[in-house]
């Protein structure tokens, strides 16, 4: 096959002919040029097919998952009062916006896919023996093997649980077998869509984003209706019973921030974004404030209808809310929640595929993971890989511990990325920055991330911290032989060729 010609091990780097002209990233190459690329052993790379609307949906639709329908309870537990809860929800939104604005600067000045991976490499040096490579590798290692697959499984497990629950009305917890079956089916479906076509995946993202916004609108309108008809006894409690214990406030923050997580999702796919220097900041400035307003309004909706006591005993706040407000139509809420999980999981696997692709392209993982399916132009191997790891992580595990561990590691990496931004301002003051964030913003985000990383270490007796260190060390065991000393596993050429023929995948072009 012509597209197999380059050395599958070295991939595009050494052996690529100079085929910059037609593939030079920005526009999709015309058919004939594309064919010649493929003949040169190039897949033509990923297309620039994500516009402003899909880009915004990539952010909003990933952020809104199951969190807003469940976490109001966790936030209330930490704050004790309606008023303080609303403040925390707003503060989490503001913090996410500030974080994302900083990422807008990084994404536009370093327009490469892979998010933090690309920024750490660029800021701290990308040679094999440079600190940037080590940091980026540790990030990739944790992200691709642990954190992002866990996140994907968490979303799909929630989907499985909420889908199966109505069929077992008398059970408190639906039985494990059907839940896991639905979970795996959802994973397979999403992976198949993402392998089949980027367009289909982005359309799914757009549609589910609209449905979740409708769900939030229903909750908001319900709440406003209650308030307007004079029922203000719950929301009118204001700041009664507010708790001031800092450790409880941290819990509230963690719950709220989980619902906002995903604000950096578009930074993983910068290379596929049309006009990233314009559309990345726009999508961020549109998407995150929109989500913040939606979340605060949804909370008003919940708290106008339900008492604090009731919210605290609900498993899924939104479903109980629907029981009060929607009468015979109450069944729509679980459907909305399932669709919301589906969309968020879709955004997650989409971005994770690109992270895996970008890091394999930079030599951190076997180069086969950076190959592109030549007909479908999707990062098929990396999506398959993410799928397999994710299926392995649906072991019985305690979701809240996973989410805590996840948040801890994420804020560690957000903090490191803020340091990268500040360092780049100093090291490369003249770097072309289509969007420049006011410098105090990354400083605030950095301070907050230190707080969010340090406070659980103090509170939970260092367990999370210990696990994180353990994973980092395990990553170094892989880094030194395979990345630093470039050890080659024998026979990989043959294995890669086999996969190339099997799946019709080829190296991405080198821009």
Binding region for ligand ARG (CB under 6 A): 62-63, 65-67, 151, 258-259, 261-262, 265, 344, 348
CB nearer to ligand ARG: pick between 3 and 258: 258
CB nearer to ligand ARG: pick between 115 and 174: 115
Give the burial class of 224: count Cβ atoms within 10 A of its Cβ; 0-12 exposed, 13-18 middle, 19 or more buried. Answer: middle
Mark residue 278 as left, alpha or beta (left: phi above 0; alpha: psi -120 to 50; beta: remaining).
alpha
Instruction: Give min distance, CB of 259 to ligand ARG, in A.
Output: 4
CB nearer to ligand ARG: pick between 62 and 208: 62
CA distances to 147, 332, 472 from 410, rounded to whole Å, are: 8, 33, 13
Q: Which residues contact 107 (CB under 8 A, 6 or more apart)?
A: 266, 267, 270, 276, 280
CA distances to 186, 200, 353, 469 from 193, rounded to whole Å, are: 11, 7, 13, 36
Q: Which residues contact 222 (CB under 8 A, 6 or more apart)?
A: 301, 304, 305, 321, 325, 326
Residue with tokens 């969309």: 343
Instruction: Give min distance, CB of 264 to ligand ARG, in A.
Output: 7
CB nearer to ligand ARG: pick between 289 and 434: 289
Q: Per-residue DSSP letters for 329-360?
A: GGGHHHHHHHHHHHHHHHHHHHHHHHHHHHHH
Separation of alpha carbons 336 and 318, rounded Å: 10
CB nearer to ligand ARG: pick between 36 and 66: 66
CB nearer to ligand ARG: pick between 261 and 404: 261
Instruction: Give min distance, CB of 269 to ligand ARG, in A.
Output: 12
DSSP H or E run through 506: strand 505-506
Give the burial class of 217: count Cβ atoms within 10 A of its Cβ; 0-12 exposed, 13-18 middle, 19 or more buried. Answer: middle
Instruction: Give min distance, CB of 154 to ligand ARG, in A.
Output: 7
List the beta bridge partners of residue 153: none
CB nearer to ligand ARG: pick between 160 and 262: 262
Separation of alpha carbons 185 and 181, rounded Å: 6
Instruction: Give min distance, CB of 351 to ligand ARG, in A.
Output: 7
CA distances to 43, 63, 263, 418 from 437, rounded to whole Å, are: 36, 22, 16, 12
Instruction: Give min distance, CB of 506 to ligand ARG, in A.
Output: 29
Instruction: Give min distance, CB of 261 to ligand ARG, in A.
Output: 4
Helix (H, G, I), strand (E, B) or coil at 296: helix
Instruction: Give min distance, CB of 262 to ligand ARG, in A.
Output: 4
Rounded to an integer, what is the distance from CA 505 to the centroid of its chain?
Answer: 25
Instruction: Give min distance, CB of 459 to ligand ARG, in A.
Output: 22
CB nearer to ligand ARG: pick between 288 and 368: 288
Instruction: Give min distance, CB of 1 to ligand ARG, in A.
Output: 36
C-alpha atoms less than 13 angstroms from C-alpha of 167 in its C-beta half-sphere: 11
CB nearer to ligand ARG: pick between 218 and 318: 318
Separation of alpha carbons 266 and 206, rounded Å: 14
CB nearer to ligand ARG: pick between 37 and 159: 159
């Amino acid at each position: 096959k012509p597209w197999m010609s380059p050395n599958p091990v070295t991939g595009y780097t050494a052996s690529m002919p100079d085929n910059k002209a037609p593939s030079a990233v920005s526009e999709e190459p015309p058919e004939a040029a594309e064919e010649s690329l493929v003949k040169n052993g190039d897949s033509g790379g990923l297309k620039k097919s994500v516009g402003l609307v899909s880009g915004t949906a990539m952010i909003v639709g990933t952020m809104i998952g199951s969190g807003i329908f469940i976490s109001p309870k966790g936030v209330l537990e930490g704050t004790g009062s309606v008023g303080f809860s609303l403040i925390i929800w707003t503060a989490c939104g503001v913090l996410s916006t500030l974080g994302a604005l900083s990422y807008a600067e990084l994404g536009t000045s370093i327009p490469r896919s892979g998010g933090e991976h690309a920024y750490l490499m660029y800021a701290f040096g990308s040679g094999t023996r440079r600190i940037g490579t080590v940091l980026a590798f540790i990030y990739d290692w944790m992200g691709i093997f642990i954190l992002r697959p866990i996140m994907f499984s968490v979303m799909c497990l929630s989907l499985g649980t909420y889908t199966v629950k109505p069929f077992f009305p008398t059970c408190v917890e639906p039985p494990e077998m059907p839940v896991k079956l639905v979970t795996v089916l959802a994973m397979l479906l999403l992976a198949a869509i993402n392998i089949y076509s980027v367009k289909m995946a982005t359309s799914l993202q757009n549609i589910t984003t609209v449905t979740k916004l409708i769900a939030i609108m229903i909750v908001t309108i319900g709440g406003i209706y209650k308030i307007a008809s004079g029922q203000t006894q719950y929301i009118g409690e204001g700041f009664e019973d507010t708790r001031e214990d800092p450790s409880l406030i941290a819990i509230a923050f963690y719950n709220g921030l989980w619902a906002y997580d995903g604000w950096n999702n578009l930074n993983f796919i910068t290379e596929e974004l049309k006009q990233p220097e314009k559309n990345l900041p726009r999508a961020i400035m549109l998407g995150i404030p929109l989500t913040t307003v939606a979340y605060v309004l949804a909370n008003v909706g919940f708290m106008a209808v339900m008492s604090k006591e009731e919210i605290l005993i609900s498993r899924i706040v939104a479903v109980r809310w629907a029981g009060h407000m929607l009468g015979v139509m109450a069944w729509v809420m679980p459907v909305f929640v399932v669709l919301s999980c589906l969309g968020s999981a879709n955004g997650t696997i989409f971005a994770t595929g690109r992270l895996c692709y970008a890091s394999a392209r930079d030599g951190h993982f076997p180069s086969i993971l950076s190959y592109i399916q030549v007909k479908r132009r999707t990062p098929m191997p990396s999506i398959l890989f993410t799928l397999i790891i994710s299926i392995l992580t649906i072991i019985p595990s305690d979701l809240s511990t996973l989410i805590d561990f996840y948040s801890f590691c994420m804020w560690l990496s957000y903090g490191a990325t803020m340091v990268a931004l500040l360092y780049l301002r100093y090291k490369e003051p003249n770097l072309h920055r289509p969007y420049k964030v006011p410098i105090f913003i990354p400083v605030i985000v950095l301070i907050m991330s230190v707080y969010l990383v340090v406070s659980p270490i103090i509170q939970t007796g260092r367990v999370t911290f210990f696990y994180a260190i353990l994973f980092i060390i395990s990553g170094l065991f892989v880094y030194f032989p395979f990345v630093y000393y470039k050890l080659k596993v024998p026979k990989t050429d043959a294995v890669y060729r086999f996969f190339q023929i099997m799946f019709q995948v080829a190296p991405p072009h080198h821009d």
